[in-house]
Structure 1
Amino acid sequence: MASVAQHGHPNIPPINNEPMRNYEPGSKDRAGLQKAVDEMIKAGPVEVPCVINGKAVTTGRTNKQLNPSNHASAVAVYQEADAALIGEAIEGALAAKVTWEDMPWVDRAAIFLRAADLIAGKYRYKIMAATMLGQGKNVWQAEIDAAAEICDFFRFGVAQVAELYSQQPAKHAPGVWNKMEYRPLEGFVLAVSPFNFTAIGGNLPGAPALVGNVVIWKPSPMAVLSNYIVYQILEEAGLPAGVIQFTPGPAEEIVKTCTDHRKFASLHFTGSTYVFRQLWKQIVSNIDNYVSYPRIVGETGGKNFHLVHPSANVTMAVHESIRAAFEYQGQKCSALSRLYVPASLWNNGFKDELVKEIKSITLGPVEDFKHFMGPVISKGSFDKSVGFAEAAKKEGGIILAGGKGDDSKGYYVEPTLIQTENPRSTTMVNEIFGPVLTAYVYDDSKPDFWKSICAEVDGCTEYALTGAVFAKDRQAVVEANSYLRNASGMFYVQCKCTGAVVGQQPFGGGRASGTNDKAGSISIFYRFVNQRTTKENMIDIDHFSYPHNA
């Protein structure tokens, strides 16, 4: 490697959360975004290649990413990688690793800071338009994801890695200098990203790459376009060829090729609990083949709750619950799915206000900015969401709002509210990942009602991602915090269970919801480094014996 001048340890620029824009009628931002959306629709499907060692590759196998608002049209036609191409990508990544891990830290950081600035400015409307049309997000959901959160991941990631690298041994014996080195993993990382957040698409390969790893990135087939734009932005920001290999295609073939490889070092995954467990088993079955023990980092499903205390502000709890359950059609890992309300509130205004507000929600194509909800992502999601409403009715549940859908043009499911008398009914236990909310009304007339309902919330499902408590009574908050200690990796008080912000609320949950490695915090970066201690002795010894040997 060429000699590099040493410039000390420069301070990184001040890091703050990316300011979010409102896109109100008549604003410059609204006009700019509307233009980007209209132009993307008019242009038709984008041709998306695989990118191996910095070069676009066509494989002859293609697939389409459909527009869920209008499933007769596609936003992208993309090339699919096969096992042979993945093998080539792995070898190319390992070759690129030699110079990437030796690149001065400040230069790696500069790439990600520049990428964030490109997203915040030059490409803001484009990446939002791709997220809206390809992933079914309305303006606000695209803004908080594809514009703000991905910038936050890249910028705060730089700050957090700078902090990580600064952590050095506190003590040094006389004549000894101790140092800590944070090496990348020995091998390559496989990043498998989901459809529902463009920001996660950027962070899953970005976090390990920032600390010197090389990555095979398999994007979701339902987010290829926005993820490809992220890749192109990283490339424009200076990411060297081969550091991140962009490989859309069939999950099973790509993943198996990677996890069978001797230099497989880590899985960085966001997706379903079932798939994550299968991948874990697959990795374990190969454990004797690997150079080192792979790091498995995963964020999976949720069955998230709002628990309302009799002292709660009804209107606030209603509106926070609607946002948590129905923003982005409930297709967030953190989305509200089960709502616990005391009978004393439910029968005295809570139910009526909740139903009224849900029925006022508008549903339509994302290019029409006025709608609060858009389509679910696919036919499978449509059928699943509508099917859960039908299953609830068969179990005796009452459909208070919604329950139907229309997939004739787009995959539109009405915001659905179910009331159940069974706290362990199907829609209270199983993950749905759609706009279906189930309410259970609990008896708050008994002295120990709060402890009892907290126990039910804690024991209801196998998931433990997010949850919220609404109560003016502070003792109730204290008790819920204790009783529900293991029920969620993210606990909210007087606010909805969605909307974690990088640098403010590190994201992740336990139990079946994942490894709880807290994306958006310094914790995630520990998983992608190998630490090496160096002890340097400054004083020569003149004999091997110790004083007591005399």
Structure 2
Amino acid sequence: MTSTAGPTTATVRRAADAPPLITGDDLPPTRHFIDGTFIEPSAGGVIDVVDPCAESVIARVPEGTAEDIDRAVAAAVAAKGRWARLVPKERSELLHTIADRLADHTDLLSRLESANTGKPLAVSRDDVDMTIDTFRFMAGALRATTSMAAGDYAENHLSVILREPLGVVGVITPWNYPLLMAAWKIAPILAAGNTLVLKPSEQTPLTTLKFAELVADLLPPGVVNVVNGHGAVVGARLAEHPDVNMIALTGSVASGRAVARAAADSLKRVHLELGGKAPVVIFPDADLAAAASSLRVAGFWNSGQECGAACRVLVHESVAEEFVERLVGEVGALVVGEPRAGEDVEVGPMVSKAHFDRVTGYLERAKDEGVRVATGGGALDGPGYFVAPTVLAGVPEGAEVAREEVFGPVVTVETFADEEEAVRRANDVPLGLSASVWTENARRGHDIAARLDFGTVWVNSHLVLAAEVPWGGFKGSGYGRDLSPYALDDYSRTKHVMHHHGR
């Protein structure tokens, strides 16, 4: 098949006459949440929260300080003993109550998330649904933990294995999934019996603050605390604080390195879910139509601002031309627009001007290097931080755009000649979060998945998640696991108690 498609420029569907997503009454209190209440900050600085569709300020939150973190940590320390002593049934019932409260406010949380991030309402609703499911799963999982059986492993000595809370966990969440990534941390941390202090992204704090407002009457004071601010100040103090027993971050590789360095002096545990550069390995026998259709979602969900996005295609040279044509057809049909512009909007803006500049910079450099733009390729006209859904074809091995995490609506396509080359090139990136393999050969699917150095590998699908299974990466993508019972292990410690019972 011969593709005649060239670069195209999508248009942004606007919603000038549609009612606003939120009103002032929908906003949470824009303060810190410490010890069960919203409090005034210790200093007077503020941070603008910007609507990325209109580039207008929708709220202002306090610019937190180290003193604010110290106060929040003190509250979490004071609350940890009581929370840890609750039996699993009591903590489970509270997590179910949180899930019920969130479910009662699904529409509000979805609209607030879209207003802050610009993401389509379908994406925000999915975020809220999985947030609720995460709390429900952890509520059940905490009542069914397993460990090594008690027994005599040394003569006349009974060994008992205990799982204990860590104490206070510091949490730093990203801007791409503000509510969902908070839930992926909060639910297992609370389930394991810990208290926490959370710093949301200064760009997208609104749903995290709304979460705190909604659950304030459900949890004992000090169990959950939220401090706004910048990573260099608030995040750094949280990571280095001597009374914080663990720091958990979802964010960039650079942020992960900074947090790990800050945590090193106190030797606290570190949980890092960092970036990804997911290869999509397509063999000649793959269902090309299904692969292209899947990438329409998996490559452009949340405008590609997704660490597991199917962003780097490696397709066998014999079917590359046909696949690119199919993919361009799918991507060219994506609806780009503001969340108010219709239920069928699939792609929204980049979250901020800085990130918009970063993504378009990658595209400009790729074009300067001679990479072919099959569709899209740049910014879209009008207000807001919109980038056209883009497919870059014929990308050479080692190209910047194929090795570094663009984190936008950009999919690159490379070719390979045989299995060994496909595996080598798929693994030849510094990140190892997720990947997918496309083949109708079951033996090949098992074999190639086992040889890929990524924490999650899908076969004939991509970006399918469930609360029951773990999420986390290898190499530069960090360590630790979100979701699943493995997260409960991450946020607890193992104690061995041995009783001498000889007579």
> TM-score scaled by structure 1?
0.83
Deviations 1:242-262 (A, max 9, x none): 111110112121133233332
For the 8 Å contact 1:194–1:270, the answer to whether it is kept is yes
For the 8 Å contact 2:185–2:482, the answer to whether it is kept is no
- Within 5 Å, give how 1:524-543 maps onto structure 2: 524-536=487-499, 541=503
The answer to whether structure 1 residue 451 and structure 2 residue 420 are counterparts is yes
* Aligned equivalent of 2:451, options 480, 483, 508: 483
The answer to whether structure 1 residue 149 and structure 2 residue 117 are counterparts is no
Deviation at 1:77, TM superposition (A): 2.1
Rate the CA distance shift 1:265–1:118 in 2: closer, same or farther, 3 A: same
For the 8 Å contact 2:53–2:384, the answer to whether it is kept is yes
* Aligned equivalent of 1:360, options 311, 328, 333: 333
For the 8 Å contact 2:35–2:76, the answer to whether it is kept is yes
* Aligned equivalent of 1:495, options 414, 436, 461: 461
Secondary structure class of the residue paired with 2:285? coil
Structure 2: how far apart are the matches of 1:130 and 1:416?
Answer: 28
Rate the CA distance shift 1:37–1:495 in 2: closer, same or farther, 3 A: farther
* Aligned equivalent of 2:151, options 171, 174, 188: 171
Structure 1: how far apart are the matches of 2:143 and 2:290?
Answer: 40
Structure 2: how far apart are the matches of 1:93 and 1:230?
Answer: 17
Deviations 1:365-423 (A, max 9, x none): 01122211111111112111111111111111001111121364211110011113412
The answer to whether structure 1 residue 245 and structure 2 residue 225 are counterparts is yes
Give the residue type in structure 2 aligned to 1:426. Answer: E
Give the residue type in structure 2 aligned to 1:221. Answer: E
Rate the CA distance shift 1:479–1:109 in 2: closer, same or farther, 3 A: closer
- Within 5 Å, give how 1:364-375 maps onto structure 2: 364-368=337-341, 369-375=343-349
Tell me what 1:465 maps to.
433
Give the residue type in structure 2 aligned to 1:533. Answer: H
Structure 2: how far apart are the matches of 1:143 and 1:153?
Answer: 14
Structure 1: how far apart are the matches of 2:488 and 2:413?
Answer: 38
Deviation at 1:37, TM superposition (A): 7.8
Deviation at 1:78, TM superposition (A): 1.6
For the 8 Å contact 1:202–1:230, the answer to whether it is kept is no
Give the residue type in structure 2 aligned to 1:92. Answer: A
> TM-score scaled by structure 2?
0.90
For the 8 Å contact 1:45–1:77, the answer to whether it is kept is no
The answer to whether structure 1 residue 521 and structure 2 residue 478 are counterparts is no
Tell me what 2:195 maps to.
214
Give the residue type in structure 1 aligned to 2:221. Answer: A
RMSD: 2.1
Tell me what 1:21 maps to.
none
Deviation at 1:110, TM superposition (A): 1.3
Rate the CA distance shift 1:320–1:87 in 2: closer, same or farther, 3 A: same
- Within 5 Å, give how 1:308-457 maps onto structure 2: 308-347=282-321, 349-368=322-341, 369-406=343-380, 408-443=382-417, 449-457=418-426
Structure 2: how far apart are the matches of 1:473 and 1:179?
Answer: 47
Q: Answer 1 or 2: higher relative contact order, Cα 8 Å, separation at least 6.
A: 2
Deviations 1:195-251 (A, max 9, x none): 122211123233222222121110112221111122223324x21111111101121
Q: Which runs of 5+ in 1 are unaligned?
A: 1-35, 444-448, 542-550
Tell me what 1:55 maps to.
37
Q: Which runs of 5+ in 2 are unaligned?
A: 1-17
Structure 2: how far apart are the matches of 1:44 and 1:105?
Answer: 34
